[in-house]
Every structure is written in structure tokens, then in C-alpha cells.
A and B are shown apart, each in its own frame.
Chain A
Amino acid sequence: MHATLSMHESALAIRACVTGWSALRVPSDQLAALRKNPGVVPKGPLPPSLLRTADEQTVVGLSAVLKAIESLPADTDFDRWGVLAAPVHFGRIVNHAALKQFQQEGAWGISPNLIPQHSLHALSGTISQVLQARGPNFGIGNAPSAAEEAFLIATTMLSEKILPGLLLVLTGHEREYLPTQPAPDCEAVAFVFQDVRPAEHWLSLRLCPHEDEHSDQLQSLEPFSLSRLVDALGEPAPSGAWRLGPSGWLRLEACSGDNA
């Protein structure tokens, strides 16, 4: 894996090469359109019903992945790629409706799609199915700490140097869902990690899961949030550094050619 796992700055810091990325912030009134057309699917159109009952984080997460892979060669074969998905409180909106319905109708009120489509495995499973990616796929975190956990697992898997590519998607809402308030925007970030030397523009992602808690470097950083990452990736040359959890950090830098 090019530029992966070079130890520096701390014994635990890891560096990985991001060859494609995207960031989306989708207002709730645009979700229906995205559900019908989440983006260009490499191997032809989606089965019409695939996203019909999917969670909205699945819809936005898949769309982010499809956008992130647009920069890859058209003949990219995802067959052995892995897919990691880290949503936050996945299924909360649908579960709220389901719990209310259960109170009114009992067991018959619960949709058979509730568990398959609105549990933590569903986002990565859907992306795996759409891209025909047959490497490992699983969901991570499902809490505000999901991104931190996902970066840790992604770098763990990259360090094995088994997968030719790994897709990481982070999803959530710009604020917590509350039934009494207008629906929040749904956000997603997708990263493509690849075992190739990038020719042109790429991102260097450095992760340190454990730093001296009192270090000046750590104290000077803003805490990580998906919204901050979405904003940073919207820039022409994305860059940024954030504190992850109590003692880790994440740094992104835009690179081109070999200027590692």
C-alpha cells in the first residue's frame, strides 16, 4: 500500500493514501430524488427496489461512494475490495416510527425490512452489493464516536496489505434527529483507499490513535465532527486536522504527484 503505515511523529501514527473522496450534505427534501438516482453505478442501473426501503443514511452514503469513485478508471474492478461504513444512530428515524406503530398495532405493525435495512450492517452491505465488492464489509460504531473507530479499523485493515482497495463511508446528521423539529440534513463522506501510487491529486490521511493527552499539538486541535470534515472536503485543496476522542488525532493534506 503506497505510503501506508509509515511510522512517524508517534510510534502509533499511520499514514494512508486516499485516491478518491467526496462529501455530501443533503437536505431532507432532496432525499426522495437521491433515493431514485443516487449516482452513476459502474455496473449498470440499480435494481429499482434496492433503495426503496433503505435507510436515509444508506441512500446518502451510497451516493457519496458513487461520487468518490468517479475519479477512478472506468474499468476499476471492485471484486476484492472491502467496504467499511460508520453511520451515527443508524435507523433512528425509522425505528422511532416503528416503535410508535408497534404501540398501535402490535407485532404485525413491524416491517420485515426493519432489521435488514435499518441495522448497522445495512449500509456497508448495500454498497458491497451495488459495487459487487466481495471483500469484507461491515458497519462500525453507530454512535458519535463512529468516525474515530472507523479510521482506526480502516488503517488496521490497510496495514494487512491484503485488499486492493478499501471504501470507507462516514454518515450522520448535521444535528440529532428530533421528531418535534424539522428533519436535519443528512451528511456523508466517502474515502477510497487504494494500493496504487496515485498519479495526480490525492489526499494524505494521517491517523494517530493515541498521543500524549496533554501535548500542545493535541490541545491546539478542534474536536473532529463529520460536519467539519464535510466542510473541509468541499475545498479545492482539502486539508485539516482534528482531535479524535480523548487522545488521538487525524490530519488530511491535499497532495499531487509524488509530493508526499
Chain B
Amino acid sequence: MMRSPVLITGIGAATPLGSTYEQIAENLLKGTSGVCRVSEFPVQDHLSQIGAMLPGIPRPRAADCPDFEQWERPDRLAYWCCSSALKNSGLWEKRHGLRIGLVLGTAAEWNVIWENHLGQEAGGIEHPALPASLVHRMQSKLGLTGPSVSLSAACASSNFAFSIGRRWLELGWVDVCLVGGSELAITPTTLAGFGNLRALSRRNDDPTRASRPFDKDRDGFVLGEGGVVFALERADHARRREAPRYAEVAGCGASSDAHHMVIPSPDPIPATVAMRQALADAKVQPADVNYINAHATSTPVGDQAEARVLATVFGDDIKRIPVSSTKSMTGHLLTAAAAFEALACIVAMRERAIPPTINLDQPDPECPLCHVPNQPREHRVRIAVSNSFGFGGSNTTLVLKAA
């Protein structure tokens, strides 16, 4: 089947590096770390006491949502991201006349609500009547009339959102689709759960240097929080209305390790299937790729496993294609990670510069890649690849082309 191109025409974000494209691009290319000591709750008995926190969730125009401050935090974050993406694409005022879908990666929405409301009547885990899900609350608050779904493949979630949203556009089910991820998982029990799993960095005395993908001294990932949502449209629709064009969603690929719930497969083949599927979908040869935004979370096992996958897919070309992990700056946004990393690819395309992997002082010899350590690199990027792998054995790859 011939695919009609699908373009990204709007971006909405609230991340540890900022809440506008300009802020995020500037911080990514300056190599700014968003990681700090967690101060929202006591962390003295947590193994990991650091995180890339949201500095705050920006408030949209009061006229659009006068009771915004009374909403739960997940609602405020998702609303900001979705409404900003629609405004950025020039569709906000027209949204009621369009069939707009929503596909959102999110996993911790109930955990956050249950934890915040423990012992309380309304919204608490002990209370039978729970509210509608986040996407349906967003659908109602934003006045969207297209289908809405939430999904989770843990850290790979938002790449699935791209794939589903693009397909809905191809099938004609929606005129516009909002896709992305929104996650606020830095809570006392989540920080404890990941910490007790020994997945998190314990570099508590040096937060900004804790997330160090591919570095020999990495000791785990850093939790992050935030959301990124994109407006997708078919190219003909976008061109007709002279919409902004950030990138084309050119290829999606997905596979599973079927190996372990947490540990990536030592066999690179399952993840290479996802990468090759995405490249074939985009009609791109490995040698054509100009930038790879790696999943690389800064865990000893995961970064090496991904390096083997990249070497298998790209062969000798991996020695010259720049690879970086922006999780070094943002921490791990979990279900929103893939969406943020798609945004990092767009920054690389538009700014003609690769965001660096910060804190990469001594590259792990088991990860022999064309790193971009600590400083951005000027580079023309037409085709970018972003990997996202998740608990449950999910492997996903997204290919973006300059539009």
C-alpha cells in the first residue's frame, strides 16, 4: 500500500529542559542537565534521591480553562501539551470543526492519583468510583471528537503512539491526530520501586552528572518527568493550509524480545527487527541516516545491548553516523521518552546540530559508536532515527525525515 506522507505540524511540550521549542532546543544544544535532587517529598531513605523534575506546568490562557489550577497534575500536563500542539499547528481555533484523535503514551496515571489521594474519599484507591481515564478527560476538556486511546509499552510507548496516529490518518479516521506521551512518575513509591530494582543512578551527591549514557562509569538511569505531544496531519492537508512542517513521520518499527520483563535480550536480533522494519517502512538505507538518537538510558546492560544492535543494523556505517543520548540531560521520561527524543531529532534537523551526550567522559569500550560527547556537533540532518526500548521486552524505532 502506498502511504500518503504524514507530517508533524505542531509541538506541545513541558519538559525538564523547557516548555517551548526554542527553550528546549537551546538547552539541548547547550548540554544543560535537567537533573536535580528531588525536593518535592522526603528522599533520605531512597537509594536514588535525584530526578529530572518539571520546573512547573505552564498555565494556558485562562479563558480556555479557568479551573486549570484545580485539576490533577497529570491533567494539567497533558492539557498543556495537547493544547500547545494544536495552537502551534494553527489548529486550536478550528479544532471543533475537525475530527481530531488522541493517542497518548502514559502508564502511571492511576499510580499518581492513588498515591496522592491515599486515605481520601474522592479519587482514592479505596474508593470505588474512579474518574474516566486521562485521555478521555482530555478529549472532553479539549472538545475533541476523534477516537482517543492511551497505551503503554513502558519506555517505548510514544513510538507506538506515532505508529497508531499515522495509521488513523492513512485510514481517514481522523483529520488530525495528537500523539505523544505524558508522564509524571517521580513519586515516592515509584522512586522507591525503581530504586529497589537497582535500576537508578545513586550518584546523589552529583545530580547533573548522574545520567551518563555510554560512559564507563554509568550506574543506572535517572527518572525524569514531562510530556511532549505532536499534531500529525497528512501532507496534503498540511500543505493546503500552509501549516508548519517540522518533519515527516517516515517509518515505524516494533518488535519484542520475548526474553525478560526488565533485562534486554543479549541477542541483538529482536531489536534489529524493529530498526530494519522502520528503515524499510521509510524506504531508507542504513547508510542514508544522518543521526541516531539512542535509547541509551545509562544502565550498564542496556547501553551495551543497544550498541550491539546498532552495530548489527548499520555495519561499518555506525563508525561515522553520529549517535547521542539526550537522556543524559532529561533523565528518563518513561512513556514520554520516545516523544521527547523525536523532538530532539527535530531540533537536530532544524538547527543543523546534534545534541550531545553529556557526562560522556570515558566511553565504554563495549559501546564503540560515533559519539557526540559533551558538546553539540554541527551536522546537516535530513534523516534521523530514534530508538526506544521498554520493560516488557518492547523495541521500537521511529524514522523522521526533514519535511
Contact surface of A with B, Cβ cutoff 8 Å: 11-12, 83, 89, 91-92, 95-96, 98-99, 102-103, 106-112, 114-117, 119-122, 124-126, 128-129, 131-145, 149, 152-153, 156-157, 159-160, 175-176, 178-180, 209-210
Contact = CB atoms under 8 A, between A and B. Distances in A.
B261 A141 contact: no
Given A115-B197, A132-B258, A95 B45 contact: no
Nearest to A150: B149
B66 to A, nearest CB: 25
A223 to B, nearest CB: 14
Given A116-B262, A145-B132, A121 B188 contact: no
Q: How large is the interface on B (under 10, 10 to 19, 20 to 34, 35 or more residues)?
A: 35 or more
A125 B392 contact: yes
A152 B189 contact: no
Q: Is the interface of B mostly helix, strand, loop or mixed?
A: mixed
B126 A178 contact: yes
Contacts of A125: 256, 261, 391-394
A122 B262 CA distance: 10
B390 interface: yes
B173 interface: yes
Contact of B164 (A89, A132, A153, A176): A153
18 contacts: A83-B256, A102-B192, A103-B118, A107-B188, A110-B189, A110-B196, A112-B193, A115-B193, A134-B255, A136-B256, A137-B256, A138-B157, A138-B394, A139-B153, A141-B149, A142-B150, A143-B136, A149-B150
A152 B147 contact: yes
Contacts of A141: 133, 149-151
Nearest to A102: B189
B181 to A, nearest CB: 12
A60 B342 CA distance: 36
B118 A128 contact: no
Interface string B21-63: 0000000000000000000000001110000000000000000
A125 B164 CA distance: 19
B261 A140 contact: no
A138 B392 contact: yes
B128 interface: yes
A99 B256 CA distance: 31
Contacts of B156: 138
Interface string B247-272: 00000001111111110000000100
